[in-house]
């Protein structure tokens, strides 16, 4: 009996995945490479990949490629949930502090209340530990998973397996392009756009963006908002002038504060034309302000800074308050719990929830200086 070419390609690739030649999380060769390997047309290769997607074995991620999501067809059963009357939710976070994370967890705990129990794990940016925590929680019988991942580029293989089996998963504060998984995050594009437009309104014409060397979707989206504000305001923007190599605030990185301060000082000194900065996170804004002070520049008289997030510290009246984009962190946590519980009842329910942000004007922004500052 003649076997169609696409069926042969499908079966060989499927065997490679099941046997572990291609493991969960691996990227498959390009369609062009696969066509050359099997000596078939691009259409034949695409049809074979479509069958693998139907099996839940692979997923296509735009601009990144095709990745293995499971070594077991989606038709097989998902991990067994807990047997208790009250569902158990696994929560894996990178890290948390009073700037971002603590209030998300508070929102999760408040929303869970007596309706669900929560098991918390922290990874500190260790990708292998992240995957291990997910597997351990699922093995213990949790009914659903909440994940604040370390990266938007690397998806834990354990999560890909769960998604392919329609196990309830909700991603916090991140998005995974091309992966059918629910997420709850803030409008980072709109927030960065609002911060940039605030500086424009104060008369600043030359702005730079500062961020960490972090591979998360939030930083990418904030950069998009910064660029969009320039485009809509018809303000020229020089690509490549932003600083995105800082490492002290990246969990698990080898970066340190002194190195970042030196980098910031050098950057500010070599770009005296910038009178305003949009910073992707609060702790980097603090370092940027210190670097300005070391150079004899005052915030906001010489330089204005707008950032994302800010500690509440409502009893600390001496704390310098930055103009910042405020995320409704408690609501992020609460909406994630509500959606995860809905997924437990209806596993195919997938939704991407984006919450609005608020610009809070503080002490770090003011009118642009009337004369060019000197570095």
Report pLDDT digits (tens) over 261-318: 999 999 999 999 999 999 999 999 999 999 999 999 999 999 999 999 999 988 888 9
Report pLDDT digits (tens) over 121-164: 999 999 899 999 999 999 999 999 999 999 887 888 999 889 88
Residue-range domain boundaries for the chain: 5-66, 88-186+329-356, 188-328
Residue 77 confidence class, pLDDT cut points 50, 70, 90: very low
At residue 81, does pLDDT exceed 90? no
pLDDT value at position 60?
78
Contacts of 319 (CB under 8 A, 6+ apart): 311, 313
- CB–CB of 336/206 below 8 Å? no
Give Cα 232 distance to the centre of its chain: 25
Report pLDDT digits (tens) over 41-70: 998 998 888 888 877 788 877 667 888 877
Arithmetic mean of pLDDT, 194-221: 94
Q: Between 222 and 253, whose confidence is greater?
A: 222
- Residue 371 is given by DSSP the state S
Arithmetic mean of pLDDT, 117-121: 96
Give domain 5-66's CATH number out of 3.40.50.450, 1.10.10.10, 3.30.2230.10, 1.10.510.10: 1.10.10.10
Strands 323-327, 357-360: pairing kind: antiparallel
What is the distance between the alpha carbons of residues 220 and 149, in angstroms, rounded to a whole number?
A: 15
Overall fold of domain 188-328: Rossmann fold (3.40.50)
Q: What tokens were used for 202? A: 């104060």
Overall fold of domain 88-186+329-356: Rossmann fold (3.40.50)
What is the distance between the alpha carbons of residues 357 and 254, in angstroms, rounded to a whole number?
A: 31
What is the distance between the alpha carbons of residues 327 and 191, in angstroms, rounded to a whole number?
A: 9
pLDDT value at position 375?
41
At residue 105, does pLDDT exceed 60? yes
**H-state helical runs in the chain:** 5-19, 31-38, 42-54, 102-112, 127-139, 157-164, 188-201, 217-232, 257-270, 282-294, 329-345
What is the distance between the alpha carbons of residues 329 and 357, in angstroms, rounded to a whole number?
A: 10
Query: Is the fold of 88-186+329-356 the same as that of 188-328?
Result: yes
């Amino acid at each position: 009996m003649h076997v169609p070419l696409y069926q042969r390609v499908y079966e060989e690739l499927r065997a490679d995945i099941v046997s572990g030649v291609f493991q969960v999380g691996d990227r498959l060769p390009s369609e062009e490479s696969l066509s050359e390997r099997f000596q078939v047309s691009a259409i034949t290769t695409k049809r074979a990949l479509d069958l693998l997607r139907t099996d839940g074995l692979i997923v296509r991620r735009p601009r990144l490629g095709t990745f293995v999501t499971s070594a077991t067809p989606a038709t097989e059963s998902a991990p067994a949930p807990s047997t208790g009357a009250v569902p158990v939710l696994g929560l894996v976070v990178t890290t948390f502090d009073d700037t971002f994370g603590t209030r998300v967890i508070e929102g999760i705990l408040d929303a869970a209340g007596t309706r669900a129990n929560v098991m918390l794990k922290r990874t500190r940016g260790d990708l292998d530990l992240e995957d291990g925590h997910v597997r351990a929680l699922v093995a213990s019988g949790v009914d659903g998973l909440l994940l604040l991942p370390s990266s938007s580029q690397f998806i834990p293989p354990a999560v890909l397996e769960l998604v392919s089996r329609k196990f309830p998963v909700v991603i916090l504060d991140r998005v995974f392009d091309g992966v059918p998984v629910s997420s709850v995050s803030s409008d980072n594009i709109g927030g960065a756009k609002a911060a940039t437009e605030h500086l424009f309104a104060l008369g600043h014409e030359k702005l730079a963006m500062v961020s960490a060397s972090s591979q998360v979707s939030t930083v990418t989206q904030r950069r998009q908002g910064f660029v969009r504000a320039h485009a809509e305001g018809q303000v020229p923007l020089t690509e490549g002038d932003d600083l995105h190599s800082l490492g002290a605030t990246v969990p698990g990185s080898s970066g340190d504060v002194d190195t970042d301060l030196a980098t910031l000082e050098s950057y500010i000194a070599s770009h005296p034309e910038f009178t305003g900065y949009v910073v992707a996170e609060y702790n980097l804004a603090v370092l940027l302000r210190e670097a300005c002070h070391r150079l004899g520049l005052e915030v906001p008289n010489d330089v204005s800074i707008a950032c994302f997030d800010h500690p509440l510290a409502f009893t600390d009246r001496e704390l310098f308050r930055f103009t910042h984009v405020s995320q409704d962190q408690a609501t992020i946590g609460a909406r994630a719990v509500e959606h995860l519980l809905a997924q437990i009842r209806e596993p195919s329910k997938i939704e991407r929830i984006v919450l609005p942000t608020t610009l809070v004007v503080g002490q770090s922004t003011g009118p642009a200086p009337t004369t060019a500052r000197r570095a």
